Amino acid sequence: MASWIASIGALSGASSVILGMTGATWRQFFSYSKYTTVAARATRQALKETERAEAERRAYQALRYQEWKNGEASEHDGWEVYG
């Protein structure tokens, strides 16, 4: 993962000058949401171990959903964990 982040950093630096590109080159490869996810993960990995454990716990989110068909709720409740 670290080498992948390093290669993205390289894309936004000297290569943009060489290729004559303007603006943020990460926009060609990522959505804003994906970019912030990668940046947040890199930031958490740079923290000391005690702060890193606390930051990792905050990184996970859960979503509960219920499906509806023909105006009635299904019996199945779903859970998804993101992080």
Higher pLDDT, 79 or 50: 50
9 pLDDT band (50/70/90 cuts)?
A: low
Residue that has been written with the tokens 């979503």 in this structure: 63
User: What is the C-alpha R_g of the chain?
Assistant: 19
Bridge partners of 65, per DSSP, are 78
Bridge partners of 78, per DSSP, are 65
Question: What does pTM read for this prediction?
Answer: 0.40
Are 67 and 76 spatial neighbours (Cβ–Cβ below 8 Å)? yes
Tokens read off for 48: 């000391």
Percent of the chain having pLDDT more than 70?
Answer: 60
Higher pLDDT, 16 or 34: 34
* Tens of pLDDT, residues 34-47: 888 888 888 888 88
The predicted structure's pLDDT at residue 36? 85
